[in-house]
Amino acid sequence: SAPILTVDGLTVDYTTHEGSRRAVDGVSLEIAAGEVLGVVGESGSGKSTIAQTIIGLQAANARIVGGSVKLGDLDLLASGRRTWRQVRGTRIALVPQDPNNSLNPLRTVGASIAEPLLLHGASPKAVQGRVLELLELVGIPDPPRRAAQYPHELSGGMRQRVLIAAAVALEPELIIADEPTSALDVTVQRRILDLIDELRLRTNTSVLLITHDVGVAGERADRLLVMRQGRMEEVGPTARVITSPERDYTRQLISDVPSFSVRTRETVVVPEETAPLVEVTGLVREFSRGRQEEPFRAVDDVSFTVAPGTTHAIVGESGSGKTTTGRILVGLD
């Protein structure tokens, strides 16, 4: 299928007192519908600059000196303010890095989520119900009470959920999550990433997941883009990049993640006669999709067994049913 987003040869400079500095240098990427593209790389490698350019929120001293960013057929870099206003929030949404500084402290949680909906013409009455629905969707208990509260009355994890609710309010085609969890503790991080994944499955949203944490990207992304000093170091399917990186730099990044190296070193030998721990036979799962009429078959006649003490890897392209299968196995479906 045609990509949702196509970035071609993007080059961005920052103008500073010391002159001009190239932050992004000839970056090209594509994201398909429902796909998660992970962008990893050291600090300063240009990840956030790419994200900001895609959503049109670059710093005042940023200068796009080359390349194009297309959302479907729409050339975003050639678009005026009006087009941007129509695209931002509705077709592309950003989940910002720091939940603590990204909500207006003087507005209730409900008012913050309502804002994009009202801006795009929903009636105040309809918005009220939708806000509660969204709070429920992102797993915030007691939505009516929470909607009336101010950001300081919520935990960091809850604030991040509120930001996600605001981002998905208009069912965007692309969610850009720039280090969406770096300010949160590990268990909350996991839940937030699960939530983004769940929403992605539900509406077939694409995700650009930016993180300096290769472990997180390796677990969540269908494909990985490795950035270094503004340039693309390598790009490819996650499993390929992790198991056989083309570049020394990527190999170095990966070897810094303990879980990856452990997984490749430890081998559990299981006797042939061991009874399977899990036996899956003919698994089928369909989702009814809001905007589509046909139900979407996420998993179609899947059978496999898992022996105790073994690692069963499920790999496959974006949208192939990996996560859905896993969720059914652990009873989260």
Residues that bind ligand ATP (CB under 6 A): 14, 16, 21, 23, 41, 43-49, 59, 61, 212
Binding partner selected for residue 44 from Mg ion, ligand ATP, none, CB under the kind-specific 5 to 8 Å limit: ligand ATP
Could you give the residue ranges of the DSSP H alpha helices within 18-123? Answer: 47-55, 81-87, 109-119
Nearest approach, Cβ of residue 68 and ligand ATP (Å): 19
- Distances 31 to 6, 121, 236 between C-alpha atoms, Å: 7, 29, 12
Q: Which does 86 bind (CB under 5 to 8 A by kind): Mg ion, ligand ATP, none?
A: none
Question: What residues line the site for Mg ion (CB under 5 A)?
Answer: 47-48
Residue nearer to ligand ATP on the CB measure, 23 or 113? 23
Residue 38 sits at the vertex; the CA angle it makes with 93 and 9, to the nearest 5 degrees, is: 80
Nearest position to Mg ion, beta carbon: 48
CB of 196 to Mg ion, least distance (A): 17
**Whole-number minimum distance, CB 78 to ligand ATP, in Å?**
22
List the structure tokens of 54. 């895609």
DSSP H or E segment with residue 8: strand 5-16
58/203 with CB nearer ligand ATP: 58
How many Å apart are CA 110 and CA 308, to the nearest integer?
A: 47
CB of 47 to Mg ion, least distance (A): 5
Which one of ligand ATP, Mg ion, none is in contact with 212 (Cβ closer than 5 to 8 A by kind)? ligand ATP
CA–CA gap between residue 319 and residue 298 (Å, rounded): 7
Sign (positive or negative) of CA dihedral 74, 77, 81, 84: positive
Q: Are the CB atoms for 303 and 280 separated by under 8 Å?
A: yes
If the CB atoms of residues 48 and 112 are measured against Mg ion, the closer one turns out to be 48
Q: How many CB atoms lie within 10 A of CB 260?
A: 18
User: What, of Mg ion, ligand ATP, none, does residue 46 touch, CB below 5 to 8 Å by kind?
Assistant: ligand ATP
Give the position of tokens 């105040």. 124
Using alpha carbons only, what angle is made at residue 202 by residues 185 and 240, rounded to the nearest 5 degrees?
65
Question: How many angstroms separate the CA atoms of 182 and 200, rounded?
Answer: 20
Please report how close the Cβ of residue 227 comes to Mg ion at its closest, in angstroms: 10
Name the residue nearer to ligand ATP (CB basis): 63 or 297. Answer: 63
Nearer to Mg ion, 220 or 327 (CB): 220
Shortest gap between Cβ of 283 and Mg ion (angstroms)?
39
Q: Name which of 237, 212, 252 is nearest 315 in CA terms.
A: 237
Taking the least distance from each CB to ligand ATP, the nearer of 146 and 220 is 220
What is d(CA 197, CA 36) in angstroms, rounded to the nearest whole number?
9
Q: Which does 318 bind (CB under 5 to 8 A by kind): ligand ATP, Mg ion, none?
A: none
Among ligand ATP, Mg ion, none, the one that 108 touches (CB under a kind-dependent 5 to 8 A) is: none
Question: What residue 22 binds from ligand ATP, Mg ion, none (CB within 5 to 8 A, per partner kind)?
Answer: none
- State the Cα torsion 32-236-50-183 to the nearest 10°: 100
Residue 39 or residue 117: which is nearer to Mg ion going by CB? 39
Please state, in angstroms and rounded to a whole number, the distance separating the CA atoms of residues 224 and 245.
Answer: 11
User: Which residue lies nearer to ligand ATP by CB, 200 or 228?
Assistant: 228
Least Å from the CB of residue 41 to ligand ATP: 6
